[in-house]
Structure 1
């Protein structure tokens, strides 16, 4: 919970008009990072910074950093570790004239990385994008002068593709190590080898007390700098798992009736619960109007950060901030929060490798999460826990609950680049198996926004304008082409256009960036690129062949003509997603018998997302025969076998004969047709 500390620094942003611009002394003191005199604001912030708990261990930390390659700093919320420790590391690198490199500090949340960079630049009295900067997906604000960088953990991993040993950095800080994201766990594993190769490198791990023992076991005898947590007043209010939602709302209203000052922060299990709670509290607030101060529910999300600041500045109302576990580590939660209501539950997406699908599960939060939330009310507030801590454990790290295949492919690339094995803190069980089977991974998030209540029909009407008879993949191309066209419209911005059509502007921007990267790659390897021919029969066929080349394990057949699809690879039944063109306009388009799909999700009524029609002949042409022969027995497989043995699939028959003659079914893993050009849609 590193970045919720000192949020009140920005509350006092006005300098006193008569304050000496030289600070505490009469002589001008120069900033060693940019050579300019310090401003009066620098000294004002420095005075506040020195009151932070982490400053008590500054000397101990700096001594440990000089004498050790690896240092662990264990500190709880509001300690100042995420803002102060990176600055001390920057001073350490400056003292060596950056001969070993600069400083990078990872974050698990992109908005957090941006906010921290802005804040630290202010404290260091330098310009953002120069001495201090940030890099997040699709955006970088750094220059050659940037000595302290805040990165998301996945972006630092991506940088390792071109710089496996991170040789441009002298100090690497891994913040929020306790969150155990996939990227953070990989970094923790790879750094063990990197430290052996680079004795001059320093690594600092910033974490909570719960994680320290595991880190010490993983890395051996290393210095540990610990800060004690401020005690939080905890009120136990046990309730059954069935009525936690209403119990939390009743408790909020009870707190409001006491007329005690302070805002309320409530943790729910999912975004859907947050939306429901917001609607209920708005109704209750109108009933209480005139009797009590106004009760203002605020649903926390990235698009409401400005609203959060605006609402929290009101003195005639009590704000109720409603959030999920994603907001445990966000620094911009106001200091006005005096009460925390914790339902103790969360919804998580857990990957099942057997059926290659994610499912949403409701489960208790971890002991670590419980402590983080308690600290949000410390030291003078109260935390109401609507659960018993007896049932809390440590949740498995994300790397054990995610699709590991993309990670395995990434690590294989690093191994080729010269980096040794990854020393996982918790090793995934299917690590080697991932490297031996064909797979794919998504490169872009969904572009569809979930409509709010009352706009469902309008959103469906807008999606219908883009739907393509060949399937959802072609619908996405229609959407992308329309998005590019909107960028040329003089009377509407792309952002507004996306809003009008219930589309995610950031997702379409991501798709645009990925397309540009693919174009650059093709140009770099001098592969000819054909002119776009979207809509032609040949192009449609080529798109489907390309999809099957990567998604041949994700093929399904409608077994009864009513939309009940049998997935060949694991024999589960599924339906197309309601957003699919086959779901929305099945009465017009008809349901295809065979489809290739991108994703199968157990938690959404066994839905297949992004599906397009294919023919069984095309599937047999593109799927490796070793995969086909290892499919579990089914009626659908028997149908394909008959087709494979008949004259209706001559190319497939040739593949079979070649494989049998050579005695190696793997030799048939590639498609029979070859093309000397790439077509970028």
Structure 2
């Protein structure tokens, strides 16, 4: 086929220098109904490409189903065009009704993909991004009052429901990538079941993969299902290697593919980001040893926030690249690979997932097989003429659809949100899979400890304010407490730094140098204060315009992009506090009063996360579940700090079983301040321990001097009876 055969009539007129009749003022002028302007020649060129997509074969069927049904399920593999074309057809559906029922919103699980799709669709619709087509992602909004089609992340649509619980500004809601089963997507699917009953004019479109369809039909009942079939299927080659050998088997296969000199790039799916970084280093070092004509191979790490840079990355090499090797994890399976000449996919078949244990309030990393649904997504990334190498046995995939994240994570933030929805008048969430009862009870207990619930188990006034702040409940409570203790500026900084990606860089081969540089920011009071030091230094370098902030970050092994994200998050949180009219005190970091107040504010939210060094050697007993943990080695008190001794009592931000049973972001506290900030009913519900006895002595020193050993053993049961009797300790009853 010649190049000219892909051109539209308008393109030919433009190239030949003749006048394009579509640019005149005749009767045949075709107007874009979305912005009232004539279509450009590029619109017709892209339209011709769009009509070759598999999804166009079902356009008429989809439009009929949308017209006559409230909910439509569309399934199909990647590269069918459903994420770009169906939202446009929905926009035309709303336009035909003059948008009297609202506009169109399409959710994505990945923020960069939401941006990429919005840019592509704006181009195809021949409109300006930010006007008729826009996007909303965390910390960035690109839309206006004229926007008729908006892409957003699933969590951002949930945030919108705080002020618009029935999503009345939308006529069509598209839930894309439903097969990924994120917490936000599952909650949306559960709440939409109620919203559809309240709004008969609303249309909902669910885009997913075929293995999930049966479960969705069971959830929503008999609904129209449209399957988008794709012509052809890549060749699949299975291997019988064991899970533990997947890493080096994948690297050997990359070399074998490269030696064949067959054209096409390679995608390799690894289990974790650590695997991805190690693979990149090995491929780079081994590339020069492949022999003449085989050394032009380039590994490219693909993380969710970097996907938009793929075209740029592939053009930066100073030599001819014969093959690109894209290194990914399971988080980038359903990415948008338009324009990438991928001909080979290497699927290791495993993933490392963080699984939350509600009993110890900790995450642990687990190596798991992927699902059949994930395997199908990966297979089709190489196109119908490509080849997919699966480094596992055909029968080893455990289940058809992806395991729902809501069963594996801490659902306390989700429970707070759902309690807010009850206040807004939205009924019960109809979960596709109900959360684990133990996790649900732990979430309710935690919200009760944080005073987010009233005596009837409904959201309290404090809980309503906490739900307005886009943070985990513990962090939101600490930020609220900072208003009382006049340390808002400092807690805002700590919160932003903990919400952003880690700013600490530890490049391979230079870990010692990096730790030495990080040590210069260490604060004697702990890691939370160290984060303030780093942020303040970063802001000072920004003000010193004669200094290159990026170079300064590189010199101190700090991630410039992470610090910029933290700065943006801090600004967003400041705006939130201003909107809900909470006082913001002037910064006074460094004074003794301010230091003590920061610790009080932190303990107001994180009193459930304290530990005591029980033997003076760094073995910390976590009071809530009596597990023994160590300080993270890169903490300012950790093994890499070279500080003598350890603080006896600490508050920590995170406890991870998967990282050598360590506590991360740790600061020293006094037990007296803990007693001051922790609710009595939380304290009395702590399991018995010597640490609890020490705190009990401080709480009631007069009684402790006179009680006998027998009275000590019966102390907890006496307290519980007093609570039940409605005496002065009645707060210990958990509603």
TM-score (norm 2): 0.84
Structure 1 residue 446 displacement after superposition: 4.1
3-state SS of 2:77 partner: coil
CA distance in 1, matches of 2:555, 2:220: 52
Corresponding residue number in structure 2 for 1:368: 373
Alignment of 1:212-223 (within 5 A): 212-223=213-224
CA distance in 2, matches of 1:22, 1:340: 46
CA deviations on 1:403-447 (whole Å, 9 max, x unpaired) are 000110011111101111111101102335522433544561343
CA distance in 2, matches of 1:78, 1:537: 59
| Change in 2 beyond 3 A, CA 1:586/1:455 | closer
CA distance in 2, matches of 1:515, 1:260: 50
Q: Does 1:461 align with 2:516?
A: yes
Q: Does 1:417 align with 2:424?
A: yes
Structure 1 residue 665 displacement after superposition: 2.7
Counterpart among 402, 410, 434 of residue 443 in structure 2 = 434
CA distance in 2, matches of 1:379, 1:162: 45
| Change in 2 beyond 3 A, CA 1:215/1:496 | farther
Do the aligned partners of 1:33 and 1:131 also contact (CA within 8 Å) in 2?
A: yes
Corresponding residue number in structure 2 for 1:390: 395
Do the aligned partners of 1:567 and 1:573 also contact (CA within 8 Å) in 2?
A: yes
Alignment of 1:135-534 (within 5 A): 135-229=136-230, 230-292=232-294, 294-301=296-303, 302-303=305-306, 305-310=310-315, 317-332=322-337, 334-394=339-399, 395-429=402-436, 430-437=439-446, 438=449, 440-441=473-474, 444-492=499-547, 494-524=549-579, 526-534=581-589
CA distance in 2, matches of 1:196, 1:238: 50
Q: Does 1:568 align with 2:623?
A: yes
| Change in 2 beyond 3 A, CA 1:135/1:525 | closer
TM-score (norm 1): 0.90
Structure 1 residue 495 displacement after superposition: 4.8
CA deviations on 1:336-394 (whole Å, 9 max, x unpaired) are 11111111111111111111011111111111111111111230011011101322123
3-state SS of 1:287 partner: coil
Corresponding residue number in structure 2 for 1:675: none
CA distance in 2, matches of 1:649, 1:37: 85
Structure 2 spans left out of the alignment, 5+ residues: 1-5, 451-472, 476-494, 706-718
CA distance in 2, matches of 1:507, 1:101: 37
Corresponding residue number in structure 1 for 2:115: 114
Do the aligned partners of 2:337 and 2:381 also contact (CA within 8 Å) in 1?
A: no
Structure 1 residue 510 displacement after superposition: 4.3
Which is further off, 229-238 or 159-168? 229-238
3-state SS of 1:350 partner: strand
CA distance in 2, matches of 1:521, 1:536: 27
Structure 1 residue 195 displacement after superposition: 0.8
| Change in 2 beyond 3 A, CA 1:314/1:156 | farther
Structure 1 residue 212 displacement after superposition: 0.5
Structure 1 residue 280 displacement after superposition: 2.1
| Change in 2 beyond 3 A, CA 1:521/1:86 | closer
Structure 1 residue 542 displacement after superposition: 1.1
| Change in 2 beyond 3 A, CA 1:385/1:529 | closer
3-state SS of 2:244 partner: coil
CA distance in 1, matches of 2:77, 2:122: 23
| Change in 2 beyond 3 A, CA 1:108/1:475 | same
Instruction: Give aligned pairs, total.
Output: 655
CA distance in 1, matches of 2:54, 2:15: 30
Structure 1 residue 667 displacement after superposition: 3.7
Corresponding residue number in structure 2 for 1:5: none
CA distance in 1, matches of 2:560, 2:283: 30
3-state SS of 2:129 partner: coil
| Change in 2 beyond 3 A, CA 1:111/1:529 | closer
CA distance in 1, matches of 2:134, 2:381: 27
Corresponding residue number in structure 1 for 2:729: 665
CA distance in 2, matches of 1:626, 1:153: 36
Structure 1 residue 334 displacement after superposition: 4.7
Structure 1 spans left out of the alignment, 5+ residues: 1-10, 651-655, 670-681
Corresponding residue number in structure 2 for 1:624: 679
CA deviations on 1:172-221 (whole Å, 9 max, x unpaired) are 00000000011111110111111111111110000010110010000001
